[in-house]
């Protein structure tokens, strides 16, 4: 199964998650997953939902692994083993105001930590994309970051401004990382996700921000603030690396559109010939 997913260019993280999902299913019945029926799989999911309170994301992950097993490995018809995915939860993302972000950054005195949080906010990159970013992925001549390990292993480009480049240069001169832009205590290994979250927790406490702020909160804040600054939805979709515009459009629900000048549709358009109504 691992080889099948590698051929299909699944990310290492997805492969690990799918294998872990099938391992849990197998341990639940103490049987190899290829010997289990559709009803057994549904009963397993039902038990996990009721007892373990697993999220929709975990359910979808289990269904994805189940489908690969049945269709790609065992060559069975999906209609015979199909499980409907749960309804997507429609949650409005929590964001920080621009003033809160600036206050958060002002509370960080460590050069490395400041550069890390600045990069995450100013680009809207996912947590793992930030942590897996290599030095060679930054094209300062073009003011561009190349994300080679995005979700689904899709490559994309993110424009960056001069102030962020200046911040990253100051950090690089002081720390001189070898491979990953942000490395942990061991040279050549990327910075840990846990440490990233702790930086934000400490900064929030110091800045007196009474919200649970995660790296993904910075991504949500970036997207919302970009819309408020006038970036169009299609451009934002490309920067964030979303497959569907529907995913990006959720930020319309939280963006403050009060600064946008709306055309007055009740007044005649000056570019059109004005004619008297009959």
pLDDT tens figures, 86-128: 876 667 788 999 999 999 999 999 999 999 999 999 999 999 9
Supply the DSSP string of 139-191, one letter for each residue. Answer: ETTTTEEEESS-GGG--EEEE--HHHHHHHHHHHHHH--SSBSSB-SSTTSBP
Catalytic residue list: 126, 151, 216, 219, 242, 251
Note the pTM of the prediction, 2 decimals.
Answer: 0.70
Top-tier CATH class for 98-253: mainly alpha
pLDDT tens figures, 164-200: 999 999 999 999 999 999 999 888 899 999 999 999 9
Dihedral sign, Cα of residue 52, residue 56, residue 61, residue 64 = positive
Q: What residue spans define the domains of the chain?
A: 2-81, 98-253
> Which CATH entry fits the domain spanning 2-81: 1.10.150.130, 3.40.50.2300, 3.40.30.10, 3.40.50.12780?
1.10.150.130
Where is average pLDDT lowest: 60-69, 91-100, 146-155, 202-211? 146-155
Where is average pLDDT lowest: 40-49, 105-114, 147-156? 147-156
């Amino acid at each position: 199964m691992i080889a099948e997913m590698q051929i299909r260019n699944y990310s290492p993280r997805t492969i690990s998650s799918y294998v872990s999902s099938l391992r849990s299913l197998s341990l639940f019945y103490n049987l190899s997953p290829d010997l289990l029926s559709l009803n057994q799989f549904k009963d397993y999911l039902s038990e996990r939902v009721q007892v373990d309170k697993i999220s929709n994301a975990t359910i979808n992950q289990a269904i994805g692994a189940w489908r690969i097993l049945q269709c790609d490995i065992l060559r069975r018809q999906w209609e015979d083993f199909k499980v409907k995915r749960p309804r997507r939860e429609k949650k409005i993302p929590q964001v920080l105001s621009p003033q809160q972000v600036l206050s958060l950054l002002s509370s960080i005195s460590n050069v490395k930590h400041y550069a890390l949080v600045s990069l995450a906010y100013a680009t809207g990159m996912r947590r793992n994309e930030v942590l897996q970013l290599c030095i060679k992925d930054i094209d300062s001549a073009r003011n561009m970051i190349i994300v080679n390990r995005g979700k689904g292993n899709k490559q994309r480009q993110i424009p960056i401004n001069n102030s962020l480049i200046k911040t990253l240069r100051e950090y690089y001169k002081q720390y001189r990382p070898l491979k990953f832009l942000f490395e942990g205590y061991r040279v050549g290994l990327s910075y840990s996700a846990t440490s990233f979250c702790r930086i934000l927790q400490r900064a929030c406490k110091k800045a007196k921000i009474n919200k649970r702020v995660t790296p993904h909160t910075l991504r949500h804040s970036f997207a919302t603030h970009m819309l408020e600054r006038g970036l169009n939805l299609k451009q934002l979709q490309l920067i964030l690396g979303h497959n569907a515009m529907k995913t990006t459009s959720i930020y319309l629900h939280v963006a403050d559109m009060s600064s946008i000048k709306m055309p007055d549709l009740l007044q005649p358009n000056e570019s059109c010939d004005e004619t008297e109504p009959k």
